């Protein structure tokens, strides 16, 4: 606790974390109520409430009305990953962003892709493939399908200067998305483009988005094995 001035909710948070760390309050144990803590710290209940809510949000505490507040038995049930634009991701690392369009053509999706997107009937889609570079080195191979029924304007875009990633962010809102992370073996073309041996390990992120139950886009983003997805809690 900072000896001067008023008590901040951060002071309370860190003091509570300290007590948990030092086993004064064991996992699963009930901790004092908000009134008691407010009295102890000499601050208002609202301040204690904010500190406890912060800790509950981060999974350290569990709160239930009437039952009180407990130290979590199994903290952290979820991790949050930020999904930025590729360009921002690259520039944030201090590297120069590069972009190369590899192909852009209207196609009729095959059975597998339609099943994936939850399409009943065939549809017109745009297939765009491109490469994102960091300081000239391959960073991400983007293999994307855009549903022209959901985003008809995409049909008139060349994607030679602006990547589909960036164009869609400001032109195709979505209400639901699904992410998949996995490891895979690089296929022939991907391998050559990313500069990894054929069959070598690559990191794959896939994203599907819908706007009001209508598929918008499916994208497969392939990274060299040096890629890392990082998050902090």
Chain residues that interact with DNA, rule: CB under 7 A? 6-10, 33-35, 42-47, 49-50, 52-53, 56, 63-69
Residue 214 binds to a second copy (criterion: CB under 8 A):
yes
Judged by CB, which is closer to a second copy: 85, or 133? 85
Choose the one of DNA, a second copy, none that binds residue 75, judging by a C-beta under 5 to 8 angstroms depending on kind: a second copy
Residues 4-33 that bind a second copy (CB under 8 A): 14, 17-18, 20-21, 27-28
Q: Is 219 helix (H, G, I), strand (E, B) or coil?
A: strand
Burial class (CB in 10 A: 0-12, 13-18, 19+), 120: exposed
**Any idea which residue has 């102890």 for tokens?**
40
Distances (CA, A) of 16 to 31, 58, 68: 9, 13, 15
Residues 193-212 that bind a second copy (CB under 8 A): 200-204, 211-212
Closest CA to 27 of 58, 72, 63, 61: 72
The 45-64 contact track toward a second copy, x by CB under 8 A, reads: -------------xxx----
Judged by CB, which is closer to a second copy: 105, or 231? 231
What six digits make up the tokens of 175? 């209400």
Residues 109-168 that bind a second copy (CB under 8 A): none
For residues 42 and 179, what is the distance between their CA atoms, to the nearest angstrom?
46
Distances (CA, A) of 9 to 5, 29, 55, 139: 13, 22, 11, 42
From first CA to last CA, the distance across the chain in angstroms is 23
The 75-94 contact track toward a second copy, x by CB under 8 A, reads: xxxxxxxxxxx--x------
Choose the one of DNA, a second copy, none that binds residue 229, judging by a C-beta under 5 to 8 angstroms depending on kind: a second copy
Q: Closest distance between DNA and the C-beta of residue 164, in Å?
A: 31
Judged by CB, which is closer to DNA: 45, or 116? 45
Size of the site for a second copy (CB under 8 A): 59
């Amino acid at each position: 606790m900072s000896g001067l001035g008023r008590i901040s909710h951060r002071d309370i948070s860190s003091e509570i974390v300290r007590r948990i760390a030092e086993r004064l309050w064991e996992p699963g144990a009930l901790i004092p109520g908000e009134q008691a803590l407010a009295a102890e710290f000499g601050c208002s209940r609202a301040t204690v409430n904010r500190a406890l809510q912060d800790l509950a949000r981060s999974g350290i505490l569990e709160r239930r009305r009437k039952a009180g507040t407990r130290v979590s038995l199994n903290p952290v049930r979820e991790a949050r990953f930020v999904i930025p634009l590729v360009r921002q991701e690259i520039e944030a690392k201090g590297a120069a962003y590069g972009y190369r369009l590899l192909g852009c053509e209207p196609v009729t999706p095959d059975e597998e892709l339609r099943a994936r997107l939850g399409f009943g009937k065939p549809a017109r889609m745009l297939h765009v493939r491109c490469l994102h570079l960091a300081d000239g080195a391959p960073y991400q191979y983007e293999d994307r399908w855009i549903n022209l029924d959901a985003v008809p304007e995409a049909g008139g875009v060349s994607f030679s200067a602006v990547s589909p990633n960036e164009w869609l962010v400001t032109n195709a809102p979505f209400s639901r998305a699904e992410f998949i992370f996995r490891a895979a073996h690089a296929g022939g073309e991907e391998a050559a483009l990313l500069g990894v041996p054929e069959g070598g390990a690559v990191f794959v992120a896939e994203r599907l988005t819908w706007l009001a139950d209508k598929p918008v886009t499916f994208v497969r983003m392939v990274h060299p094995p040096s890629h890392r997805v990082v998050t902090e809690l």
